Amino acid sequence: MTVDIDEGKKAEGQPSFVAQLQATLNVIPAHTWYASPSGGLTFVNKRTADYLGLPKDHPLRFGIDVGAQWDAHLPFVHPDDREETQENWSTRLRTGEGGEGSFRVRNAQGGYRWFLSRAEPLRSSDGTILQWVGVNLDIDELKCAEKGLRESEAKIRRLVDANIIGIVIWDFDGRIIEANDAFLRMVDYDREDLVAGRIRWTELTPAEWRARDEHAVTELRSSGTFQPFEKEYFRKDGSRVPVLIGLATFEAGGNQGVAFVLDLTERKCAEQALRESEHKLRQIIDTIPAHVVRYRPDGVADFMNQTFSEFVGPGVGFDNLRSVVHPEDYPKRSRDWDTHVAAAEPYDIEMRLRRADGVYRWHRSRRVPLRDANGAIVNWYGAGHDIDDQKRAEEAYREALLELAHANRVATMGQLTASITHEVRQPITAAVTYALAARRWLSAEPPNFHEVDDALSLIVKEGNRAGEVVGRIRALIKKAPARKDAVDINEAILEVIALTRTEAANNSVSVRTQLAEDLPRVQGDRVQLQQVLLNLIINAIEAMRDVGEKERELLISTRHEPDGVSVEVRDSGPGFAPAALERVFEAFYTTKPGGLGLGLSICRSIIEAHDGRLWASPNVPRGAIFGFTAPAHPGEAS
Ligand code: ADP
């Protein structure tokens, strides 16, 4: 730029050249300035002065040359940009040529903005530099946008190069213009194939996915993006790879776009494996011969296996599952279940459930809670099975046992005929004797009515005794259902001893008792307990037939135990070999020529049904001890 400076000077009354320059620079909508030929900043326009926050009387606002150094303006520039700016400015001054550079300038608040600064020398007609004039354009927003773009470009580049997912640039004509290694690996093509244009997305897509692709194309053309979806691609060798693909065009209405592609092979395999194992598990759960039900933490069922849903039949679901419980069992069972759910305790129940055909069947079900790591209940699991047949078998077994016990009792009583006859005959004989005596007192002169009265009382007493004996024998022979009474065990023992007295005497066996006083009454069936005693006493008497007559001793004792009583029957017979100790309780084990071998096995089942224990042990110095326990009746104070 050259000006004729003399012209300005000549025009009298006209504003000076400098004043005109300043006025012009002030109205330009940019930051402007000028500097002396040696580079010292002399003037900045109002816009710049305000930006820099210069005081109102600052010489730079008026263009008063205070002889500033060529680089005196550098403190306004960002420290990081100073070196470059200084170099650039010194080049301008050395060469005298205009040029530009960009740097950040500090504003009044201490913040910085980017400026593109262009400086030109203003020369006189002889070429001498009169001034340097400059314009600074605020390019801060542009710079930021550029920076953002560069950053996001770098991020995208990293994503592409990292090859974590497949990235493809495509066009609507079916071309794949660019693809990263991850994508090429997925479809098993080389970069050469890509460069030669041999990979086309239209051809990578199997026929059944084409319709989907067409839909995507329509959507992309109208909205520019398409929601990720699953599809398959052909690999180079014709095999298929399952992928997840997301699509977007670069610009609205453009022909090109980008796609990200994820290989789903592993996920598909895992899904398949999971499906298979679920299927297998389901098959197992459905075919195990048990009814499996799952309950929510609140105790309501939310799953049942096929076995069980077939049992309850159609029309029964989780909402009305409780309706299959037998009305008699329902109130208690459901109350118990609710209590167990509240207490989070395993639950064991027996109840009747209605089968699809309307028949109620006994079931046994056990339910246990499954907890998470914190102990909270996730679900309850119940396994149940039909025990109806078993229940019936148990019932039949109990019946049979009762029959057998009865038969055994009758048979034992048969063995005791002599003893029983004696027991009955004794009071009758006595009564007859008293009757004869009464008759004598009656026929005396005068008749002695006092003695007659005494005799008659004794006859009544003996008659009652005979009646009692017969009553006890009847009770033992009668077949009656088992009872749960409070039984005085000592009294029951004494009665059995009475029945076997003659048998013992005939076999020269001396019988002794050691019966504890203040025993609690035991809970059970008197007749059955007496049957056990009868068996043990007769066995003992029979065993002692093999030893010398003087040594045959039978001792029956009772003892108070913590939770009931124990009874022991000791003999001085030959005892048994250790090996026979447990065998004696087996059914049909006998060492007697006419024995059945059922007595002790029946005794054991009777005692076990009484919640007691029956055992055998050797006696000292010889013989056998048979003992049993029986729990006290709940009503008895211990
Ligand atoms: P059975 O009396 O018909 O043989 P049990 O079941 O009552 O049937 O007894 C089985 C076997 O146990 C007897 O045959 C005998 O060998 C043995 N046994 C039972 N009681 C005694 C005893 N007090 N001393 C020795 N052996 C005994």
Which protein residue has the closest C-alpha to ligand 1 atom 25? Answer: 575
Q: Is residue 60 domain-shared with residue 172, that is, in the same domain? A: no
Q: Is residue 410 domain-shared with residue 299, that is, in the same domain? A: no
3-state secondary structure of 403: helix
Q: How far is the CA of 473 from the centre of ligand 1 (A)?
A: 24
Is 2 inside a domain boundary? no
To test the ligand 1 pocket, which listed residue (409, 534, 539) has its Cβ within 8 A of the most ligand atoms?
A: 539
Is the Cβ–Cβ distance between 289 and 385 less than 8 Å?
yes
Q: How far is the CA of 474 from the centre of ligand 1 (A)?
A: 26
Q: Is the pLDDT of residue 330 over 70?
A: yes
Q: Is residue 341 domain-shared with residue 465, that is, in the same domain? A: no
Is the Cβ–Cβ distance between 584 and 590 less than 8 Å?
no
Q: Give the per-residue pLDDT at 12.
A: 55
Q: How far is CA 339 from the centre of its chain?
A: 21
Helix, strand, coil distribution of the chain in percent, nearest 5: 45, 25, 30
Which protein residue has the closest C-alpha to ligand 1 atom 13? Answer: 590
Q: Quick one: which of 540, 526, 514 has its CA closest to 489?
A: 526
d(CA 525, CA 534): 14
Q: Is residue 120 domain-shared with residue 238, that is, in the same domain? A: no
Q: How far is the CA of 591 from the centre of ligand 1 (A)?
A: 7
* CB-side neighbour CA atoms (13 Å) of 598: 13
Q: How far is the CA of 534 from the centre of ligand 1 (A)?
A: 13
d(CA 226, CA 213): 10
Is the Cβ–Cβ distance between 625 and 514 less than 8 Å?
no
**Ligand 1 atom with minimal separation from the 623 CA:** 24
Is the Cβ–Cβ distance between 558 and 567 less than 8 Å?
yes
Q: Is the pLDDT of residue 120 over 90?
A: yes
d(CA 339, CA 382): 16
Continuous segment of H or E residues that includes residue 24 = helix 17-27
Q: Work out the angle between the directed axes of helices 388-415 and 417-443 (0-180°, nearest 10).
A: 50
546-561 pLDDT per residue, tens: 898 888 999 999 999 9
Q: Give the per-residue pLDDT at 414.
A: 81
The CATH number assigned to the domain holding 377 equals 3.30.450.20
Q: DSSP assignment of 431-447, as one string? A: HHHHHHHHHHHHHSSS-
Q: Is residue 242 domain-shared with residue 297, that is, in the same domain? A: no
Q: Write out residues with Cβ below 6 Å of ligand 1.
A: 535, 539-540, 543, 571, 573, 575-576, 584, 589-592, 595-601, 624
Q: Is residue 593 domain-shared with residue 528, that is, in the same domain? A: yes
Q: DSSP assignment of 77-122, as one string? A: B-HHHHHHHHHHHHHHHHHT--EEEEEEEE-TTS-EEEEEEEEEEE
To test the ligand 1 pocket, which listed residue (415, 552, 590) has its Cβ within 8 A of the most ligand atoms?
A: 590
Is 152 inside a domain boundary? no
Q: Is the pLDDT of residue 207 over 90?
A: yes
Which protein residue has the closest C-alpha to ligand 1 atom 17? Answer: 584
d(CA 304, CA 310): 10
Is the Cβ–Cβ distance between 402 and 482 less than 8 Å?
yes
Q: Give the per-residue pLDDT at 3.
A: 52
**Ligand 1 atom with minimal separation from the 589 CA:** 10
Is 155 inside a domain boundary? no
Q: Is residue 300 domain-shared with residue 399, that is, in the same domain? A: no
Instruction: Tell which of 381, 403, 436 closes a domain.
Output: 381
Q: Is residue 499 domain-shared with residue 628, that is, in the same domain? A: yes
Cα-based distances in Å from 517 to 98, 394, 521: 133, 38, 11
Across the chain, what does the average pLDDT equal?
A: 90
The CATH number assigned to the domain holding 415 equals 1.10.287
In which residue are the tokens 């003892």 written? 559
Q: Give the per-residue pLDDT at 311.
A: 93
Query: What b/e string do you get for 416-437 counting C-beta neighbours within 10 Å, with b at 16 or more?
Result: beebbebbbebbeebbeebeeb
d(CA 234, CA 198): 13
Is 145 inside a domain boundary? no
Q: How far is the CA of 590 from the centre of ligand 1 (A)?
A: 6
Provide the residue type at 583 as one letter. R
**Ligand 1 atom with minimal separation from the 602 CA:** 6
Provide the residue type at 94 as one letter. R
Q: Give the per-residue pLDDT at 8.
A: 41
Q: How far is the CA of 537 from the centre of ligand 1 (A)?
A: 11
To test the ligand 1 pocket, which listed residue (415, 571, 583, 591) has its Cβ within 8 A of the most ligand atoms?
A: 591
Is 202 inside a domain boundary? yes
Is 274 inside a domain boundary? no
Q: DSSP assignment of 343-369, as one string? A: HT--EEEEEEEE-TTS-EEEEEEEEEE
Look at the chain and report how many structural domains it folds into: 5
Q: Is residue 376 domain-shared with residue 391, that is, in the same domain? A: no
Q: Is the pLDDT of residue 5 over 50?
A: no
In the structure encoding, which two tokens stand for residue 483, read together? 């009872």
In the structure encoding, which two tokens stand for residue 570, read together? 């000791």
Q: Give the per-residue pLDDT at 543.
A: 94
Q: Which percentage of the chain shows pLDDT scores above 70?
A: 97
d(CA 32, CA 38): 18
Q: Give the per-residue pLDDT at 1.
A: 54
452-463 pLDDT per residue, tens: 999 999 999 999
Which protein residue has the closest C-alpha to ligand 1 atom 7? Answer: 599
First to last CA, the chain: 129
In the structure encoding, which two tokens stand for residue 361, read together? 């069947």
Q: How far is the CA of 609 from the centre of ligand 1 (A)?
A: 21
d(CA 217, CA 209): 13
d(CA 630, CA 566): 6
Cα-based distances in Å from 261 to 164, 243, 605: 10, 6, 76
Burial of 33 from C-beta contacts in 10 A (0-12 / 13-18 / 19+):
buried
Q: How far is the CA of 587 from the centre of ligand 1 (A)?
A: 11
d(CA 245, CA 220): 13
Instruction: Tell which of 481, 515, 549 closes a domain.
Output: 481
**Ligand 1 atom with minimal separation from the 591 CA:** 14
Average pLDDT over residues 199-213: 92
Q: How far is the CA of 532 from the centre of ligand 1 (A)?
A: 13
Q: Is the pLDDT of residue 105 over 90?
A: yes
**Count of CB atoms situated within 10 Å of the CB of 406:** 19
Which protein residue has the closest C-alpha to ligand 1 atom 12? Answer: 584
Q: DSSP assignment of 588-600, as one string? A: T---STT--S-HH
Q: How far is the CA of 145 from the centre of ligand 1 (A)?
A: 109
Q: Is residue 404 domain-shared with residue 540, that is, in the same domain? A: no
Is 41 inside a domain boundary? yes
365-397 pLDDT per residue, tens: 999 999 999 989 999 999 998 999 988 888 888
d(CA 316, CA 323): 8
Average pLDDT over residues 115-144: 92
Q: Is residue 494 domain-shared with residue 638, that is, in the same domain? A: yes
In which residue are the tokens 């014709």 written? 238
3-state secondary structure of 451: helix
Q: Is residue 550 domain-shared with residue 574, that is, in the same domain? A: yes
**Ligand 1 atom with minimal separation from the 535 CA:** 7
Domain hosting 203: range is 160-269
Instruction: Tell which of 459, 481, 503 closes a domain.
Output: 481
**Count of CB atoms situated within 10 Å of the CB of 70:** 19
pTM: 0.49
Is 173 inside a domain boundary? yes
